[in-house]
Structure 1
């Protein structure tokens, strides 16, 4: 009986490993195509787009560190990943120089997030909590692009030359902790708290008080935001992934994955997203003209939901979206790092 059970367990582990290898193989193909696109178009990709490839770079390096080097079957994959990292390092360096020349004001404001050492990847995992879902979202975005950019630069210390970082104004705190915000407002609220954590700011919630309940922590807010981003993603999935929702769907996975919420890395979602990549160009496209009429209000609040993205969005030749490609590649890098971390944990000897 014991021998039979051991055989069954071995077969299950082998099957899981084969599925893992297949997923990682698909990710590598997708990321190599995306790197081809980046190499061709880096002179035309905006700052937000380059940041996406830098996040990818950080996540792939971390995945490579965890890659099981003792498995001979992984040698070819490891060589491909090392080549991908080398390519990304080279292209990012060229892209940053181009940005510095083409958009110096925005470059100065957000230069820290272009650096690899700004970004951290999760080493512990949480999950979203359905109990934290809002009863209803606000009907319009809470988003104010100018205020959001100002709040981000105050955290980064780039609001002026040699500016003090980790400055949190009352208006920033109020905006970034407002509840029931939908979609891009919600994702930028989470991003603000992520910036604060990566910059080492511990004062975001100082001075905040809410009546009738305990004051939430930074982590509490991240969990509230990601729980509601999960709700939105499930709604998008249940509606068949309408084209005009795919950008925010991917952005939610990318951000909450980086914030350490492992339940966003669903294999079924990955299979759908990989089919959205342009097989020839390697980019991800927005084509809202193809979306069913009337879904915008139901699934994305109002057209104002695209306000932030439109300002810094850049549609490249063949309809490639700089923003959607950026969030997609950084999200795919998150999947790869998550899979390697899971693989690393399951292959450690029991103590």
Structure 2
């Protein structure tokens, strides 16, 4: 049955060569979903492993939610920030790993996953092409051009997000930090400002021969930071590992510390775990929801499966707009008669305006009575991609 996986890869290349577009993938997904027994009500209970922690409908909800998010991106391509491509690249790479770990899946399900992967790849390329084309215009200042080149490093290659490798899920040797009862006010105190320029500079250096500026050294030397800068500290470590930077002598000298990189990563994700539980115990405040999605994504990329809690998945799914097919994740609703933004929207806008997040900026897209955050939709898609991969690795038989 390994030939089937090879066949799907060949088929994807043929689709691309023949001009197979995003809309064609969408139609194919609908047909395959109708044929796949895994989506039939009541069938999952006989197909899933007994140790599976997901509900039988979770696979369907994850895939449909991710598809709606991709439809949103596709319909509003001109309104996107580059984070959108990070979300689609994550989905693409995790689907590749899903299939690699299950080369003998039933043919219909295998074809479904391959088509969904191909759909996310097409959309990634469309988003990247839009920003690459922007580089050829005179609409950017030199600093903006430099930053765009740096940030495109995040999304050029899907293999950057192919983590953890097949069979590499693990839990820490020690028990993760227990949940804390600290309040949302404490979370506010822990927010740190880290500029997008610094974030871009650090990633740019990693891709340029593992060079690293003095501004970025502290990300690899100091004890874990807090909140948004901490999730990026984890991400920098993962990308540096992917780029084999820890074998680079100059990089090693400049980032030398007393903690071995793997142990330091464990320490950081322990801290992320504590703060994610603080968000949960505070009732998931609106302005921290995108952070929770980031926390789930980066530490599960590092292989820490305890971040893929089903209760956190349920909350992410509840934050999307259920009424529109384009899949607006952030549930910020404005009463129709009102001309003033809701308190939730004001909270999000305040965070955006004060630049208290590390992100490639954001854009709010108005859909009827709803406002969709491109950044939030992207990070939620990343979290859904990790849950989808973990579902396959822990709930399906080793076909």
How would you bin the TM-score normalised by the shorter chain?
Answer: 0.7 to 0.9
Q: How far 1:44 moved relative to its partner?
A: 2.1
The answer (yes or no) to whether the contact 1:141–1:304 under 8 Å persists in 2 is no
| Alpha-carbon distance in structure 2 between the residues aligned to 1:21 and 1:275 | 17
The answer (yes or no) to whether the contact 1:187–1:251 under 8 Å persists in 2 is yes
| Alpha-carbon distance in structure 2 between the residues aligned to 1:347 and 1:145 | 43
Q: How far 1:143 moved relative to its partner?
A: 2.1
- The alignment partner of 2:356 has SS state of helix
Partner of 1:235: 278
TM-score, length of structure 1 as denominator length: 0.78
Aligned residue pairs, count: 320
- The alignment partner of 1:149 has SS state of helix
Q: How far 1:268 moved relative to its partner?
A: 1.4
Please state if 1:177 is matched with 2:227. Answer: no
Partner of 1:206: 253
Q: How far 1:83 moved relative to its partner?
A: 2.4
RMSD: 3.6
Partner of 1:282: 327
Q: How far 1:293 moved relative to its partner?
A: 10
Please state if 1:338 is matched with 2:338. Answer: no
Q: Deviations over 1:39-97 (max 9, x none)?
A: 212232111221221111111122133347455xxx54434322222222222222211
Change beyond 3 A, Cα 1:25–1:132: closer
| Alpha-carbon distance in structure 1 between the residues aligned to 2:313 and 2:357 | 27
Partner of 2:261: 218
| Alpha-carbon distance in structure 2 between the residues aligned to 1:79 and 1:180 | 42
Change beyond 3 A, Cα 1:131–1:38: closer
Q: How far 1:329 moved relative to its partner?
A: 0.7
- The alignment partner of 2:269 has SS state of helix
Q: How far 1:195 moved relative to its partner?
A: 1.4
The answer (yes or no) to whether the contact 1:184–1:305 under 8 Å persists in 2 is no
The answer (yes or no) to whether the contact 2:206–2:240 under 8 Å persists in 1 is yes
Partner of 1:153: 204
Greater per-residue helix proportion: 1
Map 1:133-148 onto structure 2 (within 5 A).
139-141=190-192, 143-148=194-199
Which residue among 317, 333, 345 is the counterpart of 2:366? 317
| Alpha-carbon distance in structure 1 between the residues aligned to 2:358 and 2:71 | 27
The answer (yes or no) to whether the contact 1:31–1:329 under 8 Å persists in 2 is yes
Partner of 1:7: none
Range 130-139 or range 53-62, more displaced: 130-139
TM-score, length of structure 2 as denominator length: 0.69
Partner of 1:118: 160
| Alpha-carbon distance in structure 1 between the residues aligned to 2:111 and 2:48 | 25
Partner of 1:264: 307
Q: How far 1:101 moved relative to its partner?
A: 2.2
Please state if 1:96 is matched with 2:145. Answer: no
Q: How far 1:185 moved relative to its partner?
A: 0.9
